[in-house]
Structure 1
Amino acid sequence: MAAPMELVLSTDAAGQVANCSVWDPLTGSVLLTYRGGNSTGRGLAVLGGQYLLGGQLGKNYINVWELQRKDQLQQKIVCPAPVTCLAASPNGLYLIAGISQSIYLWEVCTGRLLSIINCHYQDVTCLTFTDDSSHFLSGAKDSLVMVWNVYSVLQVEASRGPEPRHLWSLHSLPITDLQCGIGGPQSHAVTSSLDQTVKLWDIASGDILLSVLFDVRIMSVALDPAEYHIFCGGSDGSIFQVDLLSWPVHRDRTFNQEQEKVFKGHRNQVTCLSVSLDGSMLVSGSHDETVCIWDIQSKQCLRTVTHRGPVTNAFIITAPANMLKADSKPSFPLPRFNKHLQGAEGCEGPESGGVILRLGRNQQDFDGTYLQRAEQLHDLLGESEGKNLSGLVEQLRSRTSELEEELNMVRKINKDLFDFSASIITKQ
């Protein structure tokens, strides 16, 4: 029997049988299972076709498995707080994780933590890369979506912090999902929110192209590879198909369930959607503890796979070359991942062992004696006398502590106000 070209990866909140199951979408037969805990929603990723990563539900670490060694954890990436979402770049170079209100960016080959982005005001709910790995997008409970240029993030000094390429603020309630099409920085992105809308954006210009209003909250979205349709998973279990080539073209639309295409079958909210590479099959996961395979043309459910708990992740991937070969090995070892930025206080790793003091820019051209070098060092140290540097440092530390307390208080007030207003809006 020939190996399948595409595979479905799915997880549930119970994790009784396995953390992640891998199965054939054509037959429904389970091919692999990965054991150990349970992964959070939007928290499962395949890294470089070599490793499977799962952010653990409610816990502050990420499980790592070698794809072909399904029963043995490779390592645990310890994080400062529970992981809310996770994404790996398609080129396998970078890993990003949403941890509370922050985005952590690691370099895979070294395990170095390259950046901590603190631009969202509420917990980050979803992350995704463009297909060329040049940009990534973040959505959060603060109803904001941000587009980040990876190169710009890596070039900015840690003390200043990066700025997003685009900030989209047209949603009014928490972001539930976001997906990118094909085309790198020229691609389109689709976002969904609890405000019952789905919006289509142009990443190059930052402009909104389409906004569709529904009668229910939208919990998940997916684009087909040709970008003819947007599939939207509703809180009532319905899956809505939005035609992007319909005529006449209106930027603001209201979805009419009686006249447009709807997939019926789930009994609870649809938490995840994914489309096959040829655009013929749709994979959906739901809180009704099932994953369904749909034929898009006929809108018929071809197959249902039952889980032991609410489905948190379900997506279809091209089968990695070594996933089904037990004797294969990863082409690169996975290093230990750092929890702190290089050079920060408490940073781990060999590069954090001390402070480098440089005496001049062209030391190799200095032909003086050791006595002259000692005198030069004495002069440099003498310049700082009388400036009371220690007192200045203490003042700065005290002021920094006060500002951090004020910032935490403002964040708490903002979160309470946001939760209160969101609860009122959703009740109406």
Structure 2
Amino acid sequence: MAAPLEVVVSSDSGSQLWNCTVFDPHSGSSLLSYRGGNSSARTLTVLRGEFLLSAQLGKNFINVWEIQRKDQLQQKIVCPGVVTCLTASPNGFFLAAGVAEAVYLWEVCTGKLLSVLSRHYQDVTCLKFTDDSSHFVSGGKDNLALIWSLCSVIQLDLSHAPDPRHILSRHSLPITDLHCGLMGVQARVATASLDQTVKVWELSSGELLLSVLFDVEIMSVTSDPCEYFLFCGGSDGNIFQVSLCSQSLSRDKSFQSDSDGNQVFKGHRNMVTCLSVSMDGTLLLSGSHDETVRLWDVQSKQSIRCLAHKGPVTNAVIMAAPANMFLPDSRPTVPLPRFSRHLHATEGDSAESGDVCVRLGLYTQEEEETYLQKAERLNSLMNAVTDKSVFGDGENTKVRVAELEEEVQTLKKINKDLVRLDVVGPQVHPSHSCEHTVGINVRNQAIFSLRAAG
């Protein structure tokens, strides 16, 4: 059987048989399983398509598996505290984790801790990167969602705490989940909260675009890739589909099921903790505390498959299958380094490691050249090339000057000889008068050429 293009990866808090498992979304068969411990909610992430990571429930470490090896003992990344949320940047360069009220950011290639962001007042509950890895968003129990620019976070000046690009502060109760759409810095961000609302924001400006009020607390949120619909998981087990293309869409609205795209998926018996949509937008995946993961057909709102678990589901996601997931002989191209737990490495630590830190994206810290400066620099380069092509470079010029000086000396000698002949006068036979006339003309032409040259 050919490897599927998309797979379902899920975990639960029971973990009697495995920590995480991989399912085929079309057949429902189990493809891979990863053993050891259990995973806390919103911590399951894939790094570089080669490693599967999840934070241990209630512990201060992260479990790591090589994604193509199903029968293996997991590695561990020890963290400064209990990890409440975890995410990796899509380009695989950075790893971010929420520990209490702080966000820790590591550089994957070196394992160095780049920054500790302590702008939340209570525990961080969720973290998400934009699809271009330029920004990430953090939500917390302090009712705030913060938008961070990555280039401002990985700065060299550790004495200055970076500020978030935007602070989203319209929620009145803790944020439970968030979703970042596509289009990088032009993306839209959806936040779900215990205040029974889901809000949609513009990432670039931080402006509130839409606020939808529900009758129950919202525990999870996502959207399809084209952002036609918003899917919101309620604490009562229902999943609410909100149309984002309605003609009568106002900024503040209450959810009502109608024929305009607002519908309800019914099937779970407990709160919906996680949601995910397939790449083509036809399948919706949901995980619940009723110990099941369900696949839904978006168009018909029918549950087409139910995957039983041994405990409350903590993570469930539909993702593109990594290229080497089903190749047992493959290995990660670069092993993971040892991750630092301290922001300021001591001299002994740096001497012991003996490596050179190349900070990815550091060029963004330097002042960018303006378009006018670029134009002036290009103009000067063009003038230099033109001067060289017209006048030659320095070495060729010296050779040419030497040749001209030698020619001038030759002409001076000819002129001296001609002047001497003109004064003394040759004895010319009458029959040679024509030849004498020709010689005088040659002499005159030589004198004229000599005077013109110098």
- TM bucket by the smaller chain? 0.7 to 0.9
- Which secondary structure state, in structure 2, belongs to the residue aligned with residue 242 of structure 1? strand
The answer for the alignment partner of 1:280 in structure 2 is: 282
- Which secondary structure state, in structure 2, belongs to the residue aligned with residue 152 of structure 1? helix
The answer for the alignment partner of 1:63 in structure 2 is: 63
- The answer to whether the 8 A contact 1:15-1:308 is kept is yes
What amino acid is aligned across from residue 242 of structure 1 in structure 2? Answer: V
Is 1:238 the equivalent of 2:231? no
- Which secondary structure state, in structure 2, belongs to the residue aligned with residue 226 of structure 1? coil
* Deviation (angstroms), 1:156: 5.7
Q: For residues 145-192 of structure 1, give each alpha carbon's deviation from its aligned partner in whole angstroms, at most 9, with x where no partner exists.
A: 000000011116222211000000000101000011110011111000
The answer for the alignment partner of 2:338 in structure 1 is: 336
Partners of 2:258 and 2:205 in 1: CA distance: 34
The answer for the alignment partner of 1:322 in structure 2 is: 324
The answer for the alignment partner of 2:116 in structure 1 is: 116
What amino acid is aligned across from residue 174 of structure 1 in structure 2? Answer: P
Match of 2:291 among 289, 292, 295: 289
What amino acid is aligned across from residue 310 of structure 2 in structure 1? Answer: R
* Deviation (angstroms), 1:346: 9.0
Instruction: Report the aligned-residue RMSD.
Output: 1.6
* Deviation (angstroms), 1:79: 0.8
Give unpaired runs (5+ residues) of structure 1: 354-428
- Which secondary structure state, in structure 1, belongs to the residue aligned with residue 154 of structure 2? helix
What amino acid is aligned across from residue 167 of structure 1 in structure 2? Answer: I
Q: For residues 239-286 of structure 1, give each alpha carbon's deviation from its aligned partner in whole angstroms, at most 9, with x where no partner exists.
A: 000000011120001001466300000000000000000000000000
The answer for the alignment partner of 2:160 in structure 1 is: 160
Report 1:236-385 matches (<5 A). 236-257=236-257, 260-343=262-345, 350=352
Q: For residues 91-137 of structure 1, give each alpha carbon's deviation from its aligned partner in whole angstroms, at most 9, with x where no partner exists.
A: 00000000001100000011111111110000000000000000000
TM-score, with structure 1 as normaliser: 0.80
Describe the shift of the 1:151–1:308 C-alpha distance in structure 2 as closer, same or farther (beyond 3 A): same
* Deviation (angstroms), 1:69: 1.6
What amino acid is aligned across from residue 195 of structure 1 in structure 2? Answer: D
Describe the shift of the 1:250–1:65 C-alpha distance in structure 2 as closer, same or farther (beyond 3 A): same
- The answer to whether the 8 A contact 1:199-1:212 is kept is yes
- Which secondary structure state, in structure 2, belongs to the residue aligned with residue 185 of structure 1? helix
- The answer to whether the 8 A contact 1:342-1:352 is kept is no
Report 1:37-186 matches (<5 A). 37-155=37-155, 157-186=157-186
The answer for the alignment partner of 2:196 in structure 1 is: 196
What amino acid is aligned across from residue 256 of structure 1 in structure 2? Answer: Q
What amino acid is aligned across from residue 299 of structure 2 in structure 1? Answer: Q
More helix by percentage: 2
* Ranges of 4+ aligned residues in structure 1 off by more than 4 Å: 344-349
Partners of 2:142 and 2:44 in 1: CA distance: 23
The answer for the alignment partner of 2:26 in structure 1 is: 26
* Deviation (angstroms), 1:348: 7.1
- The answer to whether the 8 A contact 2:36-2:74 is kept is no
Partners of 1:348 and 1:311 in 2: CA distance: 41
Give the stretch that moved more between structures: 252-261 or 322-331. 252-261
Partners of 2:136 and 2:289 in 1: CA distance: 27
- The answer to whether the 8 A contact 2:35-2:74 is kept is no
* Deviation (angstroms), 1:2: 1.6
- Which secondary structure state, in structure 1, belongs to the residue aligned with residue 153 of structure 2? helix
* Deviation (angstroms), 1:349: 6.8
* Deviation (angstroms), 1:347: 6.0
- Which secondary structure state, in structure 1, belongs to the residue aligned with residue 42 of structure 2? strand
TM-score, with structure 2 as normaliser: 0.76
* Deviation (angstroms), 1:73: 3.4
- Which secondary structure state, in structure 1, belongs to the residue aligned with residue 344 of structure 2? coil
- The answer to whether the 8 A contact 2:15-2:310 is kept is yes
Give the stretch that moved more between structures: 58-67 or 71-80. 71-80
Give unpaired runs (5+ residues) of structure 2: 356-454
- Which secondary structure state, in structure 2, belongs to the residue aligned with residue 40 of structure 1? coil
The answer for the alignment partner of 2:228 in structure 1 is: 228
- The answer to whether the 8 A contact 1:156-1:162 is kept is no
Partners of 2:42 and 2:333 in 1: CA distance: 26
Give the stretch that moved more between structures: 125-134 or 147-156. 147-156
What amino acid is aligned across from residue 249 of structure 2 in structure 1? Answer: V
Describe the shift of the 1:231–1:349 C-alpha distance in structure 2 as closer, same or farther (beyond 3 A): farther
Partners of 1:244 and 1:170 in 2: CA distance: 20
* Deviation (angstroms), 1:71: 2.5
Partners of 2:140 and 2:352 in 1: CA distance: 35
Partners of 1:95 and 1:104 in 2: CA distance: 8
Percentage identity across aligned positions? 62
- Which secondary structure state, in structure 2, belongs to the residue aligned with residue 317 of structure 1? strand
* Deviation (angstroms), 1:32: 0.3
* Deviation (angstroms), 1:139: 0.2
- Which secondary structure state, in structure 2, belongs to the residue aligned with residue 39 of structure 1? coil
